[in-house]
Structure 1
């Protein structure tokens, strides 16, 4: 194929891709961005005499780090950023969907060695999809250091791998890494490929229970955050419904992101959520939260095949993949409302605020724990530390007779 023929075919594919995006409701600015990315990619393919049907993940990675003098192509540390590469991969998936390239080359497959680990986590540990993805992500990073043969693992290797990752990780990241590594070793021990004693070789990072105060904002600030949403726009209707569910029912971000239409019992005013477990519970749906939810579903929710309640307000109109967008919605609402006195700026801030307000209004710890769906009373006990009125009655006088 001549260079002119390649350019003509590639331009036609890019034009068809733009039409496809336009049909899905993408903004013209977004389509223009996709066009720039795709033209850059096919130009690079043409310069290296690479046909379209040879595109695979390895080629996309080569493109990501190639030396390029073109201005404005989102280079970070000698590599195209994730959003830029996501545009390229979406274009490649489109080419595969229309039969321009083989389906098998489109997308990056996970490590085959971890597929049984995923199944084990789901079947034998009852882990949620989010927890499974977190373990898989962490173990994938550690596998090159651990090696391919679990029979060769020993305590010295485990210790060496952990030390290699300490310098570039925070305390929370190290806790997650050790937890995922411990879980992977349990799986290997259960399958008989390594010694069960290795599980004890993974150190436990200190994490003192009840050592911190729950972060919260006052009720007036919560109402300002909710009122910051513009109900005249589809996004405002959606965000207001989300914020009310978080503030009134103390839901987690994952509860909201995974809420389905069939989980809402309109006749009885109930809403079913599963939380971190697979056991769903029914919670009463407050009037204002129910009204906001109904307004969003009837007037602003895009018509999609998914049964999830909350959908992206701009194309692509797909459900939230995780709880991260819920936290971003809370963060943006805090900024609009001018609430800047909270260190925690995600979905958990409204959950903590709801629990704190309940306790200060006279609710018992048992009642707060029931709403928060805590399995252990010890988990709820941390909220007793923010009830200053109650603590004032039980505090002991300073034994020295004077303050420090």
Structure 2
């Protein structure tokens, strides 16, 4: 167990019909908000009206800033910063999934910064202050509602970079599982993949010899998420399954599960961000493409842990550690297929050749340097990508 300091300053308001309370919480941070949302689905499903009525009920003025897209763009975030400054807003309200919240964080950080907000993503500048951020989560997956992480894409360079900063933790996040009942199974699948890999990155990469708290935390939540997805596939409107997954996804990436671990990194997210930048593919889909190949490449380095994963998550008890490890990887890949998430470039209809492999490898190396991940060479990156074809 390594020394650590853990602070999670986000207030979570969880339950049915809680969105109508957002105005009350916003009033604690000012009387004028930048209201950030996506492509308009919150208008068709009624969430927009609930939020607007709550804000108006508390006398809060708001400036709408719609148009955030999946794999949010830094160019759109920059325009949002300009709007926020011009309107002199006091805080930001993000209503949507991880993409909306991530872009809202960029706007919050860029509000006080005179340079290019992309500097934060390249790790050439540090955030010293940010506007307060409140969120209404509509699509659980990223954990952005309870962490300081943010990911943006630059459409000109095809780079998708992310970072974590304490100033970007939301002040308040409202999680109402009832609004997730209509999420299509395809996007639910991508969401559960993302949440699982948030838990398993630290699980597989940490360098401690005995970490039962963190390992059981990860295994238990992954098993829970798998169980939730099975129930959701049987009945997409199963409230308890949706609610349990919503909270599990938040717990998967809020710092608790990795606290006390040493040597952790996020190699699968490293690769997936680059795929998302080049192909504009859903993040969870990018992860399910990368993870089986990465596991097959790396399991020999920590065979015991991969075998433990196989036994404790999938109940695989037969064979030596090597056989169990491989069986666990196979079971995980088959689960991706079962829920409808792609497990190869071919599955996702992504074209790739040797030239593209080289281009992807260069970008993975660049982001690895920013994230201080030193173990991968250009050759090993290409080898992993080839296992994903």
Greater RCO (CA < 8 Å, at least 6 residues apart) = 2
**Where is the strand percentage greater, Structure 1 or Structure 2?**
2
Of Structure 1 and Structure 2, which has the larger fraction of its residues in helix?
Answer: 1
* TM-score between the two structures when normalised by the length of structure 1: 0.27
TM-score normalised by length of structure 2: 0.28
- Greater Rg over alpha carbons, structure: 1
